[in-house]
Amino acid sequence: MDNKEKQIVVTAISLVVIFVCYSLYVYDKYIAENFAILNDFKFWGKAFLILIPVTIVSQIIIHIVFAIINKIVTNEDMETKTDERDKLIELRAIRISHWIFTIGFLLSMVTQVIGMAPYVMFLTLVSSGFISGIVSEMVKLHFYRKGF
Amino acid sequence: MHKCNINNNIRKLRFHANEMTQQELADKTGVTRQTIVAIENGKYFPTLELAFRISKVFNLPLEEVFSFEEIQ
């Protein structure tokens, strides 16, 4: 497994860890005490807005730590250069994850059309965002390993 | 439209060019070593620009580095 593939695996694992930890934190601190908060739009707005910087900062920290550990263990520097193949793989992964998020967005609208509670829409949006992020990394890994 | 395959002689050409390493070729063409590995293994077909860059490194015309094959 080369450095690019390792970085992708680290990104995917960190996405899962950050998402699970953040979800547990929000559930424990806000939802467990008061389930009615699920129908509060302000709560969902705050949850979304905080999730974005938390994910970005955590990803940066995790990648720095990974680069240091990788350097100590393998004595190899991380690959920072991107070329035409990297850009093409990135583009294909973005296209697929975009479609997954679009389907998730449409499903979230369907939940409102059929009269489900607003929190189902938000949960569908969060889930589709998370799934599209993971699929994007998996697609990248697939193309790096199998070629195209 | 028929499927096609683009073969290359990069590995052989590197050997004849003073056993040039994949990293050296990558540096000369401005791509990563992984891309050279993928091209040599037929897992990635380079753009026309990169194909010309590679053939320029070996001072050969493009068709002596890459060959096009149509699969029926």
Q: Could you read off the pLDDT of B25-39 as tens digits, one per residue? A: 999 999 999 999 999
Cα–Cα dist A126/A117, whole Å? 15
Would an 8 Å CB–CB cutoff place B50 in contact with chain A?
Answer: yes
Chain A residues contacting B via beta carbons under 8 Å: 2, 4, 79, 81-86, 144, 146-148
Would an 8 Å CB–CB cutoff place B35 in contact with chain A?
Answer: yes
The ipTM of this complex is: 0.83
Among residues B31, B34, B58, B59, the alpha carbon closest in space to that of B47 is found at B31
pLDDT of A88 > 90? The answer is yes
Task: Enter the pTM of the model.
Answer: 0.84
Instruction: For A95-111, give the DSSP string.
Output: HHHHHHHHHHHHHHHHH
- Taking CB atoms and an 8 Å cutoff, what residues of chain B touch A83? 30-32, 35
Q: Where do the DSSP E strands lie in chain B?
A: 3-8, 66-71
Q: What is the SS3 string spanning A112-124?
A: HHCCCCHHHHHHH
Cα–Cα dist B17/B31, whole Å? 19
| Contact assignment for B32 to A84 by CB distance below 8 Å | no
Residue A61, both tokens = 């920290």
